[in-house]
């Protein structure tokens, strides 16, 4: 049989497994968690090959003499990332389209206002077979970070809303009920029936995913839970207060979404380019307060933001996701005092990335990085590849 592309083959393999298991298409549409479990059974081991994407927005820029590593040592602003040095390729001499305070959407799009942002496009190409096409979460209201076609997709700042989307098949029911729990309960017998149709190795893998479903249900039902456990991290209570707690809970949800195969494309925004978010862990000051003429506070702010990225990398690594997920962090400017578009802090980590290096990209922009990542993820082979925004950029060599 001939396949149109690799994604078509994966979809057909997935449908064959579903058919043998006796699970209906209606069941998969109703329960994204069941679909994610099934999708995991069709995935081949692809160590080092990027099949998932995680974008990170971390506002505030940097000062290059306090950001770029020297002899493998990260200075004060990037110091929290030191433990992941071997996984990180840091971009030097990177430029940004549309830098400075303004519309963050330029950062993911290279200034097109009529087509998908990168995170959305990855969801509709490499993630076309996943239950939820993409998930865009964050800490601060922002309407122009992600875009589906010409429509803005506001950042989801409510953890409960994010969980509702993930566990109700990509939509929010708006009923005020807890659709995730009832759906999982309803379909336990159907998922469990796979044990009579699979080989021993597959049974063991299914048991692992089945245990994860039980743990997630228990965590959602109790409203409690902390770090990882089983195959998926447990979501904490959604009743959190403060920037720091919200950033970490949204990180847990983003990792859960990738780990449970609910989506192949996640973006997470720590703050917004308005810089009006309040750092409760730094004395309750506004992010913008330190940007001009307060060097000590500015370095503290940027280092704190990188501690949030470290937390994300820690959790992706703990769940084995850095062997399949590429992480791309970008900011909204270079040095904040100038609001410039030169020396913008950009880092890549995870699958498909040659880490442990400082790479001079010679004024190339985020569009070139997106183009490079799209090719690494085989997105050009997707039937939806014509929906790309602007992949006319050059490839970043050395990644």
Least trusted range by pLDDT, from 29-38, 77-86, 325-334: 29-38
For residue 217, the cross-strand partners are none
Residue 104 lies in a domain: yes
Sheet of 325-330, strand order: 135-138, 265-270, 52-58, 325-330, 346-350, 88-92, 357-360
Residue 42 lies in a domain: no
Q: What is the pLDDT of residues 126-180, one digit of tens each?
A: 988 888 999 999 999 887 788 888 888 999 999 999 988 887 755 433 333 333 4
Residue 319 lies in a domain: yes
Residue 394 lies in a domain: no
Please check the confidence at residue 1 and state whether its pLDDT lies above 50. no
Residue 35 lies in a domain: no
Residues 283-292 have a mean pLDDT of 90
Q: How many residues does the chain have?
A: 399
Residues 178-184 have a mean pLDDT of 40
Q: Cα separation of 17 and 62, whole Å?
A: 49
Q: Which residues contact 36 (CB under 8 A, 6 or more apart)?
A: 130, 131, 260, 261, 262
Closest to 131 in 3D by CA, of 221, 311, 263, 43? 263
Determine the pLDDT at residue 91. 96
Determine the pLDDT at residue 381. 83
Please check the confidence at residue 255 and state whether its pLDDT lies above 70. yes
Expressed as residue numbers, the domain containing 343 is 48-170+242-387
Determine the pLDDT at residue 186. 46
Least trusted range by pLDDT, from 53-62, 74-83, 131-140, 381-390: 381-390
Q: Cα separation of 289 and 203, whole Å?
A: 55
Determine the pLDDT at residue 76. 97
Please check the confidence at residue 326 and state whether its pLDDT lies above 70. yes
CB 68 within 8 A of CB 75: yes
Please state, rounded to an integer, the average pLDDT across all residues of the chain: 79
Cβ–Cβ contacts within 10 Å for residue 106, how many? 22
Determine the pLDDT at residue 48. 52
The CATH number linked to 52 is: 3.40.720.10
Q: Cα separation of 373 and 396, whole Å?
A: 9
Residue 198 lies in a domain: no
For residue 329, the cross-strand partners are 56, 347
Alpha carbon of 247 to those of 59, 221, 279: distances in Å?
13, 22, 11
CB 52 within 8 A of CB 320: no
Please check the confidence at residue 372 and state whether its pLDDT lies above 70. yes
Residue 62 lies in a domain: yes
pTM over 0.85: no
Q: Cα separation of 270 and 214, whole Å?
A: 30
Q: Cα separation of 139 and 146, whole Å?
A: 14
Name the token pair of 267.
């973006």
Residue 356 lies in a domain: yes
CB-neighbour burial class of residue 107 (10 A; exposed 0-12, middle 13-18, buried 19+): buried
Q: What is the pLDDT of residues 226-238, one digit of tens each?
A: 333 334 545 657 8
Q: What is the number of domains present in the chain?
A: 1
Least trusted range by pLDDT, from 8-22, 175-189, 280-294, 324-338: 175-189
Q: Cα separation of 397 and 399, whole Å?
A: 6
Residues 236-259 have a mean pLDDT of 90
């Amino acid at each position: 049989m001939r396949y149109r592309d690799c994604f078509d083959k994966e979809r057909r393999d997935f449908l064959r497994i579903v058919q043998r298991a006796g699970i209906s298409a209606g069941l998969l549409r109703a329960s994204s968690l069941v679909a994610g479990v099934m999708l995991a059974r069709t995935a081949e081991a692809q160590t080092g090959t990027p099949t998932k994407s995680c974008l990170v927005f971390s506002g505030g820029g940097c000062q290059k003499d306090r950001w770029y590593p020297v002899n493998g040592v990260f200075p004060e602003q990037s110091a929290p990332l030191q433990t992941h040095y071997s996984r990180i390729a840091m971009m030097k001499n990177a430029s940004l389209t549309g830098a400075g305070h303004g519309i963050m959407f330029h950062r993911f799009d290279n200034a097109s206002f009529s087509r998908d942002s990168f995170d959305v496009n990855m969801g509709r190409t490499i993630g076309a077979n996943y239950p939820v096409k993409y998930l865009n979460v964050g800490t601060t209201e922002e309407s122009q970070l992600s875009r589906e076609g010409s429509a803005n997709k506001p950042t989801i700042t409510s953890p409960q809303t994010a969980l509702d989307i993930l566990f109700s098949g990509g939509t929010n029911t708006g009923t005020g009920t807890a659709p995730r729990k009832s759906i999982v309960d309803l379909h336990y017998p159907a998922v469990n029936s796979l044990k009579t149709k699979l080989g021993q190795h597959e049974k063991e893998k299914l048991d692992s995913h089945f245990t994860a479903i039980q743990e997630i249900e228990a965590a959602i039902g109790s409203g409690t839970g902390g770090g990882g456990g089983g195959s998926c991290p447990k979501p904490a209570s959604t009743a959190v207060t403060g920037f720091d707690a919200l950033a970490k809970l949204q990180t847990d949800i983003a990792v859960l979404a990738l780990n449970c195969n609910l989506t192949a494309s996640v973006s997470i925004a720590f703050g917004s380019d308005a810089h009006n978010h309040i750092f409760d862990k730094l004395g309750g000051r506004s992010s913008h307060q330190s940007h001009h003429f307060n060097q000590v506070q500015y370095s503290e702010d940027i280092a704190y933001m990188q501690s949030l990225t470290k937390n994300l990398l820690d959790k992706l690594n703990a769940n084995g996701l850095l062997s399949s997920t590429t992480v791309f962090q970008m900011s909204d400017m270079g040095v904040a005092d100038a609001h410039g578009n030169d020396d913008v802090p950009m880092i890549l980590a995870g699958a498909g990335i040659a880490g442990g290096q400082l790479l001079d990209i010679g004024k190339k922009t985020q569009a070139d990085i997106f183009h490079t990542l799209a090719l690494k993820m085989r997105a050009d082979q997707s039937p939806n590849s014509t929906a790309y925004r602007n992949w006319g950029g050059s490839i970043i060599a050395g990644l």
